[in-house]
Chain A
Amino acid sequence: MVRAMQLLIQTVIDGLLVGGLYVAISIGFSLAFGILDVVDFAVGEWVVLGGFAGVAAHTWLGIDPIVFLPAVFVIFALIGSLVAPLIYRVRTSRYARPALMALAFTFGIAMLARGTMLTTVGFDPRTVQTSLVGGTLTIGGVHMPWLRLAGFLFAIVTTALFMGFLFFTRTGLAVRAAAQNKRNAGLMGIDVKRLSTIVYAIYAGLTAMAGVLIGAIYTFTAQVGPQYSLLAFFVVVMAGLGSIGGVLVAGLFLGMLQALVTVYVGADYTLAIVFGVLFVVLLVSPQGVLRRGLAA
Chain B
Amino acid sequence: MTSRTAKPGRPAALVVLPLIVLALVFGTLPMWTDDYWIRVWTGVAMWAGLAASWNIIGGYAGYISFGHVAFFGIGAYATAILMQPGYDWNFFLTLPVGAVIAGLFALIVGWPTLRLRGAYFAIATWALAEALAQIINTLDFTGGSFGLSTPGNPSTWFFYYAMLIATILIYLLTFLLFERSRFGYKVKAVRDNEAAAQSLGINTTAVKLQAFMLSAALPAVLGGINAYWITFINPQSVLSGEVTDQMVVMTLIGGLGHLWGPALGAFVLYLASTWLGAEYGGSTSYIAMIGALLAIIILFLPDGLIGLAPRARGMKLVRKMLGLSGAPGGGGAGTAPPGGRP
Query: Within 8 Å by CB, do A and B touch in the complex?
Result: yes
Please give the residue numbers on chain A whose beta carbons come within 8 Å of chain B beta carbons, in ascending order.
Answer: 33, 38-39, 41, 86, 89-90, 93-97, 99-101, 103-105, 107-116, 118-119, 122, 226-227, 229-230, 233-234, 237, 241, 266, 268-272, 274-276, 278-279, 282-283, 286
When the two chains form their complex, are residues B120 and A286 in contact, meaning their CB atoms are under 8 A apart? yes
Instruction: Report chain B residues within 8 Å CB of A38.
Output: 119
B98, CB-defined interface residue at 8 Å: no
Question: Cα distance A141–B257 when bound, in Å?
Answer: 60
Instruction: Report chain A residues within 8 Å CB of B113.
Output: 282
Closest 10 pairs (CB-CB, A-B): A115-B288, A111-B291, A115-B287, A108-B294, A112-B291, A96-B339, A118-B284, A275-B131, A108-B295, A283-B112
Q: List 24 A-B contacts (CB under 8 A).
A: A90-B299, A93-B341, A94-B339, A94-B342, A96-B339, A99-B119, A100-B63, A100-B118, A101-B298, A104-B248, A105-B294, A108-B290, A109-B291, A110-B291, A112-B295, A118-B288, A119-B288, A230-B126, A230-B130, A234-B127, A269-B135, A274-B127, A282-B124, A286-B120
Query: Shortest distance in angstroms between B239's beta carbon and chain A's nearest beta carbon?
Result: 12
Query: Shortest distance in angstroms between A114's beta carbon and chain B's nearest beta carbon?
Result: 6
Query: Of residues 161 to 180 in B, which have CB atoms within 8 Å of A's CB atoms?
Result: none
Question: Cα distance A205–B31 when bound, in Å?
Answer: 58
Query: Shortest distance in angstroms between B40's beta carbon and chain A's nearest beta carbon?
Result: 23
When the two chains form their complex, are residues A94 and B124 in contact, meaning their CB atoms are under 8 A apart? no
For the complex, would chain B's binding face be called helix, strand, loop or mixed by DSSP majority? Answer: helix
Query: Shortest distance in angstroms between A73's beta carbon and chain B's nearest beta carbon?
Result: 24
Instruction: Report chain B residues within 8 Å CB of A93.
Output: 302, 341
When the two chains form their complex, are residues A103 and B64 in contact, meaning their CB atoms are under 8 A apart? yes
Contact A233-B134, Cβ < 8 Å, known A86-B299, A118-B284: no
Instruction: Report chain A residues within 8 Å CB of B191.
Output: 97
Give the contacting residue for B120; candidates A41, A122, A268, A282; CB below 8 A. A282
Contact A114-B127, Cβ < 8 Å, known A90-B299, A96-B302: no
When the two chains form their complex, are residues B131 and A105 in contact, meaning their CB atoms are under 8 A apart? no
Instruction: Report chain A residues within 8 Å CB of B249.
Output: 108
Query: Of residues 22 to 76 in B, which have CB atoms within 8 Å of A's CB atoms?
Result: 58, 62-64, 66
For the complex, would chain A's binding face be called helix, strand, loop or mixed by DSSP majority? Answer: helix
Instruction: Report chain A residues within 8 Å CB of B287.
Output: 111, 114-115, 118
Query: Shortest distance in angstroms between B322's beta carbon and chain A's nearest beta carbon?
Result: 25
Give the contacting residue for A111; candidates B127, B282, B294, B299; CB below 8 A. B294
The residue in chain B whose Cβ has the minimal distance to the Cβ of A100 is: B64
When the two chains form their complex, are residues A116 and B288 in contact, meaning their CB atoms are under 8 A apart? yes
Give the contacting residue for B130; candidates A119, A122, A227, A282; CB below 8 A. A227
Instruction: Report chain B residues within 8 Å CB of A39.
Output: 119, 122-123
Give the contacting residue for B295; candidates A99, A105, A230; CB below 8 A. A105
Contact A226-B130, Cβ < 8 Å, known A115-B286, A268-B137: yes
